[in-house]
Amino acid sequence: MIPGVTVRDMTAADLDAARGLIDQLGYDIPADEMERRFRAVTEADGHHALMVAELDGGIVGLLHIFARPALEKPVEALVQSLVVDQTLRGSGIGRALMDRAEGWARGRGLESVTLHTRATRAEARAFYRALGYDEVAEAMLMRKTLHPE
């Protein structure tokens, strides 16, 4: 990993930088919406963690993980998002964030970490395989937008 990178908990002061990273994945989120989402995650009773990687005072990576209980399987950790600045991918920052996330899950007694990645993101899939993640399912994401009645 690049010397000088630190992984720490995300704070509200990191929101603009986090928006920039998420934008690199193709998600354009307005500042007020990002702030609302940040509050929703940080107020979720300790079941979520937001982490950032910092280098030379700038945010160069972001990870969101949470504990997901279910009836059909044991509680697992789910990596909701991971992004490393596109100019620094392959430098070990993603691995450092994932190591911290796995430690977060172990610290809560969770037995597994699950994540979703798009089939079109071949580099991401190779990265996760290199970390020991196995492809366990192919799925189709479905969504229904709910409109006020």
Least confident of 16-20, 101-105, 133-137, 139-143: 139-143
pLDDT in tens, 83-118: 999 999 999 999 999 999 999 999 999 999 999 998
What's the domain range around 100? 6-130
CATH at 99: 3.40.630.30
- pTM here is 0.90
Angle CA 21–53–41, to nearest 5 = 70
Mean pLDDT of the chain: 93
The answer to whether residue 148 is domain-embedded is no
The answer to whether residue 84 is domain-embedded is yes
The answer to whether residue 149 is domain-embedded is no
Tokens of 53: 């990687």
**Residues 67 and 110 sit within 8 Å (Cβ to Cβ):** yes
The answer to whether residue 116 is domain-embedded is yes
The answer to whether residue 122 is domain-embedded is yes
How far is it, in rounded angstroms, from Cα 143 to Cα 111?
29
Residue 78 has pLDDT above 90, yes or no: yes
The answer to whether residue 60 is domain-embedded is yes
The answer to whether residue 136 is domain-embedded is no
Domain count, the chain: 1
pLDDT of residue 46: 77
The answer to whether residue 147 is domain-embedded is no
Summarize the confidence of residues 49-64 as an average pLDDT: 96
